[in-house]
Amino acid sequence: MNKAQLVEAIADKMGGRQQAAEAVDHVLDAIVRAVVAGERVSVTGFGSFEKVDRPARYARNPQTGERVRVKKTSVPRFRAGQGFKDLVSGSKKLPRGGEVSVKKAPKGSLTGTASATVKKAAAKKTTKAAAKRTTAAAKKTAAKKTTATAKKTTAKKTTAKKTATAAKKATTAAKKTTAKKATAKKAPAKKATAKKAPAKKSTARTTTAKKATARKR
């Protein structure tokens, strides 16, 4: 029996082929997702599905006989329940009409039902999506803060450079002004010295005149 035949077998009991196909798809999807997540799906009287880890080992190639190393892997495993085993072995008779006794499991014994697995899978998806959104929001916030800090730092550096340049210009202008004032103050002293020089010559002439008058006497 394949999947299509399974759907046809339960179509009358599910109210139509479409409903039966959806039910089969939901059940199989829930089982596969739970096993992949490492959970054990157990249906009382039918069996359990679980994930089994196989360690790395050595095996032989059946064609060449060569020894080959097999990597560590995980495989799904199904273990039939006791009720299922009893029906297959013939120790219990399969009822002709109605449902197999698997359906009559006591309350609370279906530890890994499809509905519970679907709810767990949905909860995990919601949690992962929320975690991704939170991480993305945190990254955006951090990026904005970093950009703002970088802009502020750049602005501060630019302002510091402008202030330093203005201070240098002011210092240079002050030095030039001081130099000009000093030069202006020194210039009259030179002129005064130049004016005093002829007075020495007049004194020399007076002394010569005095000497000449004394000789004539």
CATH architecture designation of domain 3-52+73-131: Irregular (4.10)
Q: Which residue ranges make up each domain of the chain?
A: 3-52+73-131
pLDDT digits (tens, 9 = 90+) for 12-70: 989 999 999 999 999 999 999 999 999 999 999 899 999 999 999 999 999 998 999 99
pTM score = 0.45
Please provide the DSSP assignment of the chain as one string. Answer: --HHHHHHHHHHHHTSHHHHHHHHHHHHHHHHHHHHTT--EEETTTEEEEEEEE--EEEE-TTT--EEEEPPEEEEEEEE-HHHHHHHHTSSPPPSSS--GGGGPPTT--TT-HHHHHHHHHHHHHHHHHHHHHHHHHHHHHHHHHHHHHHHHHHHHHHHHHHHHHHHHHHHHHHHHHHHHHHHHHHHHHHHHHHHHHHHHHHHHHHHHHHHHHHH-
pLDDT digits (tens, 9 = 90+) for 112-142: 444 454 455 555 555 565 666 766 666 776 6
Task: Give 172's pLDDT tier (boundaries 50, 70, 90).
Answer: confident
